[in-house]
Amino acid sequence: MDFLWYWSFSADYKTIEVRHVVDEAEEKLKVNHKIILQELKEMQQEEIIKLLYENDISHDSPYTRIELTSKFFKTIKPKL
């Protein structure tokens, strides 16, 4: 998910809301939101990101936040 990398450069973004990632990918990459959510869950299983659920862990919400882990920065390389 290349667009996560660009967010990582901003000090303002310690975490990112899922809705921003989904909107960006749908608009710029023309990727269905279900595919994006599945990929985010796989990235969490690999400990590349951490999904910070507000309440119920089984409930997907557009307001769930994504925390970028140190493994993210070691794994994901920017396409500059």
User: What does the pLDDT average to over 56-74?
Assistant: 77
* Residue (of 51, 43, 45, 47) closest to 67 by Cα position: 51
- In the chain, the percentage of residues whose pLDDT exceeds 90 is 4
Domains delineated in the chain: 2-75 (1.10.10)
Residues in the chain, how many? 80
Residue 36 predicted with pLDDT over 50: yes
Per-residue pLDDT, 13: 58
Residue 32 predicted with pLDDT over 70: yes
Per-residue pLDDT, 11: 42
Q: Which residue has the higher pLDDT, 42 or 4?
A: 42
Per-residue pLDDT, 57: 61
Question: Residues 6 or more apart from 58 whose CB is under 8 A from it?
Answer: none
Report, in this order, helix, strand and coil percent for the chain, each rounded to 5. 50, 15, 40
Q: Outline where 1-80 has alpha helix (H).
A: 2-8, 18-24, 33-45, 70-75
Residue 76 predicted with pLDDT over 60: yes
